[in-house]
Structure formats: structure tokens, C-alpha cells
Amino acid sequence: MIKFFLMVNKQGQTRLSKYYEHVDINKRTLLETEVIKSCLSRSNEQCSFIEYKDFKLIYRQYAALFIVVGVNDTENEMAIYEFIHNFVEVLDEYFSRVSELDVSFFNTVFHGTWQMHSGPYQSRSCSVTQAGVQRCDHGSLHPGSPGLK
């Protein structure tokens, strides 16, 4: 099950965050700082899956943005890794070349829309693999380069 979703820039600033379990605001700040530090300190040659406390971090870097998803230890890492890429492709299609400013705008829409449909926390708990991640033909896209500016 997904615990949280973060989009951060290379400077470590959170651009978008969504939590699916209640986490106190002070603990969120500390959690985000530690998670971001863990991901930003890794080299490109290292694995994008990190064991962290009682959950796993799966992240991908797209230009100056990192997308980090925290999941429980039973979640399929490759399904989440693919989910991140599909999410970026949707953003790229919607914004016609995603930039960090687009993410800031999207943050408002993202939270407003999800708030209306699922309340402050996710009402259903299912994993990405249970929800059925659909594979799509990426055509000429290469992993890690879906068109972020």
C-alpha cells in the first residue's frame, strides 16, 4: 500500500506531497527531510529502491525533479517504479512538457481533486498491483527522459 507520494527538486524542496495515512505535520517535515536526503545522496548507478525504517522508498529522477513513493514492505517495487513513470507521462501529456512551475500549479489541482473524491485520506486501501497497473507502449521514450524541462 502506498503511504505517501512526494515530488521534490534537486535543492530538496518539496513541490508536491500526498499522504495516505495520518502523519503529524511536525513528523512530516522530519520524514520528508530524511527521505529527500536519502534519495538525493545516491548516485545514478545505485538502485532506486531504498529500505527505510518500516517501509520502502521507490524513486525516479526526471531532470531536476525527484518523485518518491513510500510503500509498505509487501508492495511490488517494479509496479511502483512503473507507476511513477506512467504518472510523469500523464503530467507530460497534460502540460505538453512538464516543468517545476507546472508541478506547483498541478499541486493545487491535484490536492483539490483528490480531496473531493477521497477525503483527507485514502478511503480504500489497495496496492498498485491489486489495482492493476496497465502497461503502455512508451514508443520512442527512453527510461528517465519523458520530457521534463
Q: What tens digit of pLDDT does each residue of 133-142 get?
A: 333 344 433 4
Q: What is the pLDDT of residues 77-86, one digit of tens each?
A: 999 999 999 9
Cα 15–chain centre separation: 11
The whole-number pLDDT of residue 48 equals: 92
The whole-number pLDDT of residue 103 equals: 61
| Domain 2-101 bears CATH identifier 3.40.50.720 | no
Query: Which residue, among 69, 70, 73, has the nearest Cα to 85 in the 3D structure?
Result: 69
The string of pLDDT tens digits covering residues 33-72 is 999 898 888 888 899 999 988 899 999 988 888 999 999 9
Q: pTM here?
A: 0.66
- Long-range CB contacts (within 8 A, 24+) of 9-12: 9/64, 9/65, 9/66, 9/100, 10/40, 10/64, 10/65, 10/66, 12/36, 12/37, 12/40
Residue 88: what pLDDT?
85
Residue 108's pLDDT band (cuts 50, 70, 90): low
